[in-house]
Amino acid sequence: MRLKLTWMVMLFFTALQLSFAQEKTVKGTVKDASGVELPGVAVQIKGEQRGTETDFDGNYSLQVAPGKILVFSYLGMKNVEKTVGNSNTINVVMEEDTHQLGEVVVTGAMGISRSEKSLGYAVSKIGGEDIVKTKDPNLVNSLAGKAAGINITQQSGSVGGSSKIVIRGASSLSGDNQPLFVVDGMPINNTYLSNGIQGAVDYGNAAADINSLDVESMDILKGAAATALYGARAKNGAIIITTKRGKQGKMNLVYNTSIRMDRVAKLPDYQNEYSQGLDGRYSVTSFNGWGEKINGQTVKNFLGQDVTLQAYPDNVKNFFNTGTTQIHSFDLNGGDEKSDYRFWIYFNLTKWCYAIQFLQEKRFNLQCRAQIKSVVR
């Protein structure tokens, strides 16, 4: 009996030694889709309590047996599972999880992320795909109906005219009530400009120069609490715009086009029975329609010439036509783990409903990003 027990103990320790002898050290680096190392990524053996996490440079090391599955998890990223094989190195690239990122908000010019629950002000996040659906050349107009508490007013009906955006109502009777626009960390002035009070030319606003196809996402920070991030200029809130980046991998060429047609919804009904004037008398300088009844009589026109008095029933209708807006854009992008590039060309050809208004717009943009890692430790 004692001999049998001794053999069982020896067999147990032999099997235990063989089990530990099968384990090996697996190392690797965890990065995001743009090639940036991710610190603090949890690396755990599936079905076990053992694991580790990546260091500041995204590196990890773990004792694990071949055939085991490593699970990589990180806030805002999709979980990744890798099976341990013959190689001692397992590098991982993690992708963003859009469902989890909906609870994380980029709140600062330096890309600082905070939980939406910890913010002291309301935030609305709008994706680039929702903005593109409107097909409006002016980015500000594309925000209409996308978030609560936003009021957008077009300052004029002219081609390329400016649009004013106000969040949660006006806070000043004489000052500018618009929020601060921040594009990739750079504040811009969205004040609309004109050269007078009546009959002035509307020169547009700066936000209209941003191509909606170039927007990756927009965070709308509401209320005065947003001033803690951008100072007094954001007293009416802030709109944080993040532009698209070049996609990792092979070179990509994307072409987008859209055509929109506009017509006047309704024209007023004018009477064509009586001439211009008052009290039944024709007057060449009057804008009223209470002159004498039109019967083909001869009257003096504005130049003093004799002309036949007649009605022009389609003069207002003929002033307007069918407006068209054609937008074409070419997007060339690419990149690798350490850099990316993006070059796009944008064409906007607009013929407004007014016969005398026309706009032709061309934009070019080149973006290059590179990761520079210091060699000094």
Task: Please report, for the chain, the start and end positions of each structural domain, with discontinuous segments joined by +.
Answer: 23-94, 104-243, 249-265+321-372, 274-302
194 pLDDT exceeds 60?
no
Tell me the pLDDT band of 284, cut-offs 50, 70 and 90: confident
What tokens does 121 get?
């002000």
42-73 pLDDT tens trace: 999 998 888 898 998 899 999 999 999 999 99
Residue 28 CB coordination number (10 Å): 20
Number of H helices, E strands in the chain: 5, 24
Residue 197: what pLDDT?
Answer: 54
23-94 has which CATH code?
2.60.40.1120
Q: Confirm whether 23-94 and 104-243 share one CATH topology.
A: no
β-pair partners for 260: 325
Q: Say if residues 181 and 206 touch (Cβ distance below 8 Å).
A: yes
Q: Say if residues 37 and 58 touch (Cβ distance below 8 Å).
A: yes
* Side chain identity at residue 240, one-letter code: I
pTM > 0.85: no
Which of 72, 89, 83, 88 is CA-nearest to residue 38? 72
Residue 20: what pLDDT?
Answer: 47
Query: Who wins on pLDDT, 94 or 327?
Result: 94
Q: Say if residues 362 and 353 touch (Cβ distance below 8 Å).
A: no
17 pLDDT exceeds 50?
no
Residue 11's SS3 state is helix
Q: Taking all residues of the chain, what is their mean pLDDT, rounded to a whole number?
A: 77
Residue 28: what pLDDT?
Answer: 94
Residue 128 CB coordination number (10 Å): 17
Is the CATH code 2.170.130.10 the one for domain 104-243?
yes
Residue 45: what pLDDT?
Answer: 92
